[in-house]
A and B are shown apart, each in its own frame.
Chain A
Amino acid sequence: MTRLLKVEKITKKFGNFYANNDISFEVKKGEVLAVLGENGAGKTTLMNILFGHYTPDAGSVQFEGKAIEFGNTNNAIKLGIGMVHQHFTLAENLTVLENIIIGSRSIFSLSLPKRQARIKILELSKKFGLLIDPDELVANLSVSEKQRIEILKTLFLDCKLLILDEPTAALTPQETDALFATIRNMIKSGLSVILISHKLNEILAVSDRIIVLRNGSSVGETDTNSAVREKIAEMIVGKKIDYPKKTKIPRKSRVLSLLDVSYSETDVPSLNAVNLNLYGGQILGIAGVAGNGQTTLAKILSGHLKPTQGKIVINEAGSVYISPKSFMNLGVAYIPEDRNSDGIVGDMEIWENAIMTEMDNLCFRNRLGIINKRTSFDRSKDLCAAYDVRMQSIRQRSRLLSGGNVQKLLLGRWLMRKPKIIIACQPTRGLDEGAIASIQKLLLEAQQNGSAIILISEDLDELLSLSDDITVMYKGMLSDPIETTTTNKLTIGLQMAGDGF
């Protein structure tokens, strides 16, 4: 196979931090190269350099023997490099067609050849199995449809090398399979693909070769055929991973139930007559594609939203006053989906975030409302030590923590209150293998101590390994829970796509 891309000694610094340090690799024509690594390992930075978003401090890149001009996406596109970013680069106020054709003409040209473009798009979409409606507004599309457009955009500009940055992050298992089929199709017609991911199973299924990045450096390269899963996982993290093991404990009494709870307002996805029972010591997994009402459900369960119909019963306490605070006092802990905007205040210091939920406790403030710094500092130091929040000092701004440490801080803050119910929304989304393992272990420990946990996740592996029972959410409806041991990925995946509703 001939060489398509040659990357030599790329180094990129952000301040004093090496995002990429002396990285070299090659991509051959017609192969899938997987770039693996934890968050912050430098994968996306490296790709942004290839695609011309960033200029590296040292190194060179050659594409088909020609040097790439750095910091110029237009040059990269002209050479034949296409990139699908993790955060989609689509304008939601425009149609599919408009989003695709934008780069094909100079902005100074006076006409927009929509008709020819439509023909080419439909041809490409047929050839690669990427079904779309060119005249639909992008805002109305699902995540997987948006991704199809992103891929079509690069194909439309005749790319030879496609870079996919975390393409499966928001897809159902079926959609992931469809994406992989498309990738194989592309390989067959001579394209090359660089696939960035931190999901090992997927990489092993679709790639030809793997390189692993850690802390900005390349730490290993291997053919996928000869790769061993555990070895690569260790290469990624840099040490042995201690995977959490679940032990089931007998169900205790019921702590929470929802009776025909509905929510219909225009601002968030609605809920439709949801019934649910939760018992002490139980982990109830809720699967589903994002945007089917899970967030609304979590907000109702944590007192942030008031159901338009139906009833919530907590701890057999009868009807409760609905506010986040009263739920908190009843022992409900809430791990929000977007930890950085709803979980912590990024510009406040770690200790301030650590005691934020404790402001009713006179241990941490006096009657005038003045914070007792000594007890607060002690508490946050204890919290960080107990839950392994890695930081330089508790006076550090919380924004500077990594995702895993933010999550440990958040979870630790609740666990210190010994919650009876934990509502965990996507608790490991976007975290790396090491951090995922620690968060999962903390949740399992909480379960062992008798807490009831609702685990809302899109990661089926996680749901299957942690939950006692699983239900699926689809268009605001919740399926009946089934025991995890009696179901499998395929069944749940089908339900996530609407089967049985």
Chain B
Amino acid sequence: MIDFIEIIFTAGFWAATIRIACPLILATLGEVLCERAGVLNLGIEGIMSIGAMVGWMTVFLGADLYTGILAALIIGGIFGLLHAVFTVYLGASQHVTGIGITMLASSLGFFCFKLILPASTTPPKIKPFQPFDIPFLSDLPFFGPAFFQHTPFTYIAILAVVFAFWLMNSTPLGLSIKMAGENPMALEAQGIDVFLVRTIAVVLGSAFMAVGGAYLTLSAFDAFYFGMINGRGWIAIALVIFASWKPERALIGALLFAGLDAYQVRAQQLAGAVIPYQFFLMLPFLLSIFAMVIAAKRTKYPKALLIPFRRGERH
């Protein structure tokens, strides 16, 4: 029994938690940006997938790792723009468009992968981001290996939270995004283009998602294969609700889920012989549902979420 508690006092557990959390953090931030502006982006799973592919492929074809991140960022923005054209300008159903984007992006990504590398049976590999020891801090006992010996991409993900927090709370754009998701007429009445604000939010948010996907191929693993996003996008959608549409709480939500995931892997090894491993696999999801139920009870949805804005119509 003591063994189960000891897990959370190992540096490895915390390091794993942060590693697992990173793609979720980036994806959740992206979805927060979109939904805060009033646009649900169910394209998240596909956008992460194509971000993972494009980021990896850029590096595989000879560019450096940071260019890979940039490539993922751009492809995410492009698919975000596609989503925005349909949902913001044409006022199409956000659910249907989002699912469509997910199918298109994940399949197109794999299709292009096969076009470029038709013969590969075992996924080829790249040299991903290597752990970077932060001077002095990484030498601390326990805290060093747990928090300060991660890859640079990990620190970028954490900085993304700071960026999103600053954007939402200290800039006119962030304020406009919050208003676009609550009462777009308020924005229009102040002379601000609602369509533009929503489009920026969706493009930016989708870029975040794609970078989250690229984390998997450039930092966590070293290869790309079909279906590697494995539902992380859908989890991010749920985490947005847990986070009450706030960037700082997205970080907490992602860490919580990742922590549960890291814990179950270790608990499996301890008790695998007695309890079927599927039980442990189930744990993070089960506990997430409980956390959601508790956290979501008090949350307030952005009031204009899912509602297309149409100018010059009777309201």
Contacts and interface: CB of A to CB of B under 8 A. Distances in A.
B64 to A, nearest CB: 29
Contacts of B311: 53, 71
A77 B191 CA distance: 7
Given A14-B314, A73-B189, A94 B178 contact: yes
A107 B173 contact: yes
Contacts of B314: 14
Nearest to A113: B172
Contact of A90 (B183, B197, B200): B183
B187 interface: yes
Contact of A99 (B186, B197, B200): B186
Contacts of B189: 51, 73, 83, 85, 89
B62 to A, nearest CB: 35
Interface string B182-208: 110111111111001100100000000
Interface residues of A, number: 36
B179 interface: yes
Nearest to A55: B312
A110 interface: yes
A310 interface: no
Nearest to B187: A102
Majority secondary structure of chain A interface residues (helix, strand, loop or mixed)? loop
Nearest to B191: A74
A429 to B, nearest CB: 18
Nearest to A52: B191
Contacts of B182: 91-94
Number of contact residues on B: which range applies?
A: 20 to 34
A337 interface: no
Interface in B249-287: none
A76 interface: yes
A238 interface: no
Contact of B175 (A75, A90, A98, A157): A98
B155 to A, nearest CB: 23
A89 B183 contact: yes
B170 interface: yes
B97 interface: no
The winner among A77, A107, A110 for most chain B CB atoms within 10 A is A107
Contacts of A102: 172, 175-176, 179, 186-187, 190, 192
B259 to A, nearest CB: 30
A92 B302 CA distance: 10
Interface of B: 170-173, 175-176, 178-179, 182-183, 185-193, 196-197, 200, 300, 302-303, 311-312, 314-315
Interface of A: 14, 51, 53-55, 71, 73-78, 83, 85, 87, 89-94, 98-99, 101-103, 105-112, 153, 157
9 contacts: A55-B312, A73-B191, A77-B190, A85-B189, A90-B183, A93-B182, A93-B300, A99-B179, A112-B171
Task: Give the 5 A-B residue pairs with the shortest CB-CB distance, closest first.
Answer: A103-B190, A74-B191, A91-B182, A89-B189, A89-B186
